[in-house]
């Protein structure tokens, strides 16, 4: 049996600082991105991205041909968010700001940190430009969270604003853009008057499937939560109390 070798650990800070210096640095760069509506050029390093992230491994899997390779165009990704992702990939850490939300590209640990950050700063995050630029895949874990410090009525308004922006950019109906995410809205938490107003607004500008609104009315009529589905009647951390809540299943994780 061979004797165990000595494992030597260097200091993390100089290592991280050295890698951070390569973020968006043209030196030794072998892949370029054109990011955001402003078409900002961002420099990166193919081997580092591919070994750190499955998304980039698939994106950059084909070997570049001879000559200067064409840039990878990511026109729907906010530049600030993309640079935050690069910093996390290069250094395994990133500082998030209240007015920007990082696009995670399937990075589990970073996504978890982003969600936790938004949960703690829900009001500011929902009113930021970064929220309106989220993809549906990035928005879903937020709407599934019990820990958002925001009332459901405000969350419905934020979802409508998000869908309107997406509809304008994608040139698709609001309801079609919203379809992947609105099922996570907990309409049964709204008071009857609020639900009636939402129903009327939904007739004028479709956002939420009629069947989902019917389910919310059913919770009111039966005066109990839907135990089979659970989440539609479960309050969030920021849910404001309403008289009918005492009839619902309002467990909070």
Predicted confidence (pLDDT) per residue in 169-202, tens digit: 888 999 999 999 999 999 999 999 999 999 999 9
Q: At which residue do the structure tokens 């874990």 appear?
A: 141
> What is the pLDDT, as a whole number, of residue 104?
54
Q: Is the pLDDT of residue 241 over 80?
A: yes
Residues 6+ apart with CB under 8 A from 251: 230, 234
**CA–CA separation, 61 vs 181, rounded Å?**
31
**CA–CA separation, 188 vs 128, rounded Å?**
26
> What is the pLDDT, as a whole number, of residue 245?
86
Question: Across 157-198, where does the E strand assignment appear?
Answer: none
Q: Is the pLDDT of residue 116 over 90?
A: no
The H or E element containing residue 46 is helix 46-52
Cβ-based neighbour number of residue 59 at 10 Å: 17
> What is the pLDDT, as a whole number, of residue 46?
92
- 252 φ, ψ (degrees, to nearest 5): -130, 125
C-alpha distance from residue 95 to each of 15, 42, 88, 133 (Å): 17, 19, 9, 19
Domain extents for the chain? 18-47+70-96, 98-252
At 197 the three-state DSSP class reads helix
CATH class for the domain made up of 18-47+70-96:
alpha beta
Q: How many residues does the chain have?
A: 253
Q: Is the pLDDT of residue 230 over 60?
A: no
Predicted confidence (pLDDT) per residue in 66-104, tens digit: 666 789 998 877 788 888 889 989 998 887 664 455 655
Average pLDDT for residues 235-245, to the nearest whole number? 91
Q: Could you tell me the pLDDT band of residue 229, with boundaries at 50, 70 and 90?
A: very low
Predicted confidence (pLDDT) per residue in 31-57, tens digit: 999 998 889 999 999 999 999 888 888
Average pLDDT for residues 126-132, to the nearest whole number? 86
Q: Is the pLDDT of residue 126 over 60?
A: yes
- pTM value surpassing 0.75: no
Average pLDDT for residues 145-168, to the nearest whole number? 94
> What is the pLDDT, as a whole number, of residue 97?
61
> pLDDT averaged over the chain?
85
């Amino acid at each position: 049996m061979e004797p165990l070798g000595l494992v030597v650990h260097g200091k993390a800070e100089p290592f991280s600082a050295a890698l951070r210096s390569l973020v968006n640095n043209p030196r030794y760069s072998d892949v370029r991105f054109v990011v955001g509506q402003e078409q900002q050029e961002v420099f990166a390093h193919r081997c580092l991205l591919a070994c750190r992230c499955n998304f980039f491994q698939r994106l950059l899997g084909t070997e570049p041909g001879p000559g200067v390779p064409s840039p990878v165009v990511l026109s729907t990704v906010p530049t600030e968010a993309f640079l935050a992702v690069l910093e996390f990939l290069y250094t395994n850490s990133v500082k998030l700001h209240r007015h920007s939300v990082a696009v995670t590209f399937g990075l589990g640990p970073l996504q978890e940190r982003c969600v936790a950050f938004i949960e703690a700063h829900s009001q500011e995050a929902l009113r930021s430009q970064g929220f309106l630029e989220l993809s549906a895949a990035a928005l879903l874990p937020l709407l599934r969270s019990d820990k958002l410090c925001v009332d459901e009525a405000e969350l419905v308004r934020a979802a409508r604003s998000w869908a309107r922006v997406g509809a304008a950019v994608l040139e698709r109906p609001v309801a079609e853009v919203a379809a992947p995410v609105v099922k996570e809205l907990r309409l049964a938490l709204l008071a009857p008057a609020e639900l009636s107003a939402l129903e009327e607004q939904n007739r004028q500008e479709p956002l939420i499937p009629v069947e989902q609104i019917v389910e919310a009315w059913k919770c009111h009529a039966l005066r109990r939560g839907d135990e089979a589905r659970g989440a539609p009647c479960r309050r969030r951390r920021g849910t404001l109390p309403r008289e009918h809540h005492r009839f619902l299943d309002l467990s909070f994780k």
